[in-house]
A and B are shown apart, each in its own frame.
Chain A
């Protein structure tokens, strides 16, 4: 078979395993595959925030890990740190904190951030040392590969890959289009 061009779509549906923000009944779900150390994801972070602010309950946002470990030496541990925070119900706090401190994601800083966010330090350090969440991060990564993630960040709007730019107006327009379709 020769593959013609096609729209890539999400192979792993959004479910209980995902970190979700916004109501389950929202008309649009935006999924981001991202890397905490990726500068483009850093640039997309305030854009997503602004879109969430504007759309409120009409949007559900999901973040999945796609660390490009060969380019970004701290991306894998940063992803595991967010997952460790999730266990202590602070995923989004850590997610935000990491994107707001992209320049300092080494292990010592990750521990410092866990303390700042009032996580149980001992548990956090143990989970980080034992790489308890590495499988979960890899699962996210593979689901991205199989869904046609081709770089970071990659967005899916209601399960369909968004190939246009993620500048505020473009991404927002695409989400609003999905909302009314």
Chain B
């Protein structure tokens, strides 16, 4: 699925998949702020696997655990040359405080304005809550979604699924 530039700039309900984008789908590109004066585009990571970790909110206890866990598991993602990116609807200042408090070593992106626009395009926005789902996507070096998982919002999905997906990518590359 490719989106033309116009629709990409102005995501409308038409672009919103009703459930999480599935493996085999090209991951929609996006640009979001990582800090007040820096932004990150997904396309910058072409050429390496990317892990997109959507989570509902900074500071909520389960999220803290999940991001703290990924922070700890980060060295295990390195052999795959994979980049981990956290995304929530929180603003940049909130992310900055959260990342500093938890000593996170990976970027948190602010899906803040228009709120949840990226989560909506990935089919993982929770309209009643105004936050994203707790959803994971593993993209290959070409930006194709190769694995996705939506966890019950109260349950930290852990890191095992990510590692298994990264291993599967590597096996595929070699064969």
Give residues in A with beta carbon < 8 Å to B: 1-3, 5, 8, 68-71, 141-142, 145-151, 163
Which residue of B76, B155, B160 contacts A163 across the interface (Cβ within 8 Å)? B155
> Does B85 make an interface contact (CB < 8 A)?
no
Given the interface contacts A1-B147, A71-B103, does A148 sit within 8 Å of B158 by beta carbon?
yes
Q: Determine the chain A residues whose CB is within 8 A of the CB of B107 once the complex forms.
A: none
> Does B157 make an interface contact (CB < 8 A)?
yes
Q: Which of B48-92 contact A (CB under 8 A)?
A: 65-66, 68-69, 71-73, 76
* B-side interface residues, number (CB < 8 Å): 28
Q: Determine the chain B residues whose CB is within 8 A of the CB of A145 once the complex forms.
A: 73, 76, 158-160, 163
Q: Determine the chain A residues whose CB is within 8 A of the CB of B102 once the complex forms.
A: 70-71
> Does B23 make an interface contact (CB < 8 A)?
yes
- In the complex the two chains form, is A150's CB within 8 Å of B147's CB? no
- In the complex the two chains form, is B161's CB within 8 Å of A150's CB? no
Q: Determine the chain A residues whose CB is within 8 A of the CB of B23 once the complex forms.
A: 1-2
Give residues in B with beta carbon < 8 Å to A: 20, 22-23, 65-66, 68-69, 71-73, 76, 102-105, 147-149, 151-152, 155-161, 163
Q: Determine the chain A residues whose CB is within 8 A of the CB of B160 once the complex forms.
A: 8, 145-148
Closest-CB distance, B98 to chain A (whole angstroms): 13
Across the interface, name the chain B residue whose C-beta is closest to A149.
Answer: B158
Given the interface contacts A145-B163, A146-B160, A150-B158, does A5 sit within 8 Å of B151 by beta carbon?
yes
Which residue of A2, A70, A163 contacts B68 across the interface (Cβ within 8 Å)? A70
